[in-house]
Structure 1
Amino acid sequence: MRWKHRPEGSNWGDFGPDDQLGRMNLLTPERRLAGIREVQQGVAFTLSLPLDYPGPMVDMRKPPRLFVEQMEDGSPAYNQVSDHCSDVMCDDGVVLYTQFSTQWDSLAHMGQKFDADGDGVAEKVYYNGYRADEHMLGPDHPDGPYARALGIENMAAAGVQGRGVMLNFKAMFGTDYRRVGYDDLMRTIDAQKVDVQKGDFLLMHVGYDEAVLSMNRQPDRSILDILGAGLDGSDPRLLQWIDDSGIVAICSDNLAVEAYDWDNPPGADHAILPLHELCLFKLGIHLGELWLLHELADWLLAHNRSAFLLTAPPLRLPGSVGSPATPIATV
């Protein structure tokens, strides 16, 4: 057993001692059928930004870079013509930062310092007690960087398809900065008649995606950091609702799903991103960030609907802590 004590309010062990899927375990065939039953018109929406957006925002995440390897004769593998046929061939590769653009966070993306052993010393641990250095190998390890557990390939193998529901915070509150707590969440659910069910994907549109697109790969953080709604991870009633709801993932068009203030950290014994702590560390709820949601959100609002079929697999990339995504919503 990797742990003697689990964090208060967590579900560690509830899906088995070696579980690496978390709430994706609730994505059953019945829940996929529930998503399929929401398809009425066959209209599809692509929910991914172009993967070279938003542009430079986080120092450790960089835009994709295409490159071409050389052929045996030294020529580039691009616009090549064989001596024996008429085909023209192009071949390329890419350096891709997995969390630069529209993305999924795996359960290996964020852990906490927590005394899982019960010996009075906090260890660096992740969902279900998986350990830093043992399971999450850093770049200084000969086999690293590599997530031996909780990598994004586990989510990919789960078949990420089911019923999605949209909360349109932009329509409810506009695009001014707002920390959405439990009361605001309930107001939005009631006003937009959103039926959130166990096993659903919860999507939130705040208007961030439209702002990012308008900036044409030159994002202005002074504008974006105070734009739109974000979930208030300091609200215990909101956190309890997320737990009780049974949702399998939360996705937003903003940078982190939750509201945050990097300039005023909460202190050494508290998470700067408490909703990440709850979702990724305690409950195994995957997070999707920087999704392209405005077209789907507008369509749903215009048709007095909130639910749809969501198909959103990450790359099946072993050992990665995140992945680009090209989600598709079908209504």
Structure 2
Amino acid sequence: MFASLFGAVESGIIYAIMALGVYLSFRILDFPDLTVDGSFVTGAGTAAILIVHGQNPFLATIAGGLAGFIAGCITGILHTKGKINPLLSGILMMIALYSVNLRIMDQKPNVPLLGQETSFSMMTSFWQKLGLDAPFNSFLEMVGLGDSLPKTWGIFFFMIIVVILIKLITDWFLKTEVGLAIRAVGDNKRMIRSLSANTDRLTVLGLGISNALVAFSGALIAQYGAFADVGMGIGMIIIGLASVIIGEALFGTKSIARATLAVILGAIIYRVILAIALRIEFLDTGDMKLITAVIVIFSLVLPKVIEANKEKRRRAKKRQAWQKAVKGEGDDIAST
């Protein structure tokens, strides 16, 4: 049980990068970008094929992110220059990327990374050389979890550092002049255009960065799972939306820093919920998409129900206050 939950947290940290990309397109740019399902595989396939051909895993991961950036920019160009509907431009790019991804992966539907040196294997070796595993393993033995959790912590702390860095860079970027302009495009494109801003260029840039994060996450997931598959991106947009919605519902969005943190925590919570749900006896791995759909529906409906209850309470308090005021005035009149 503890091992599966730890694995869910570990993978949730990696998927949080993808969720941040979805947050940029859906919340910041207000653009329903379905390119995500394709660009996730683009990053995974690019990194996997480069690693198989002997390239440095870290450079391969960055190359995967750059490939996603190009895919996102093309989606933006289809929308801004081709005047294609945002939803349709994303669908068209997602379909095109299926063939592109097969080309990247040498026409193979699956590229295994078993026995290959990856970013995670390198970090695990580095962590062990530093001798940092011993304190954590001793602590686990002391609390009785020695056999329940993994013995290596290099991957876990490596991904925490990577996600924190990406979050801080995202927060900083969205507060720069360009970042504020991209946020303005999502809020009111007509207004920002009246200030002589190039909204088309900002849209293309925003979608490029969004899909770069998605592809970067895909490259890390491929190395984490030791394979890249042409179908691994199916439903990825739903996972990203679920992470965003859960995070926003639980932690709020009062500021950019808080919103990005909420998205990261939402991705982790989503993976934990999924891991717990799959331990129910009558559910199996084939029900993952159904579980995802239920989680998203629940995440969408619950905030509205909570808000409706709060509104009812506010109205009831106002009604009681008014009734007390009216009753008080009546008592004053009767006493006179």
Q: Structures share a fold, TM > 0.5?
A: no
Q: Which has the larger radius of gyration?
A: 2
Superposition TM-score tier, normalisation by shorter sequence: under 0.3
The structure richer in strand per residue is 1
The structure richer in helix per residue is 2
Q: What is the TM-score with the length of structure 1 in the denominator?
A: 0.23
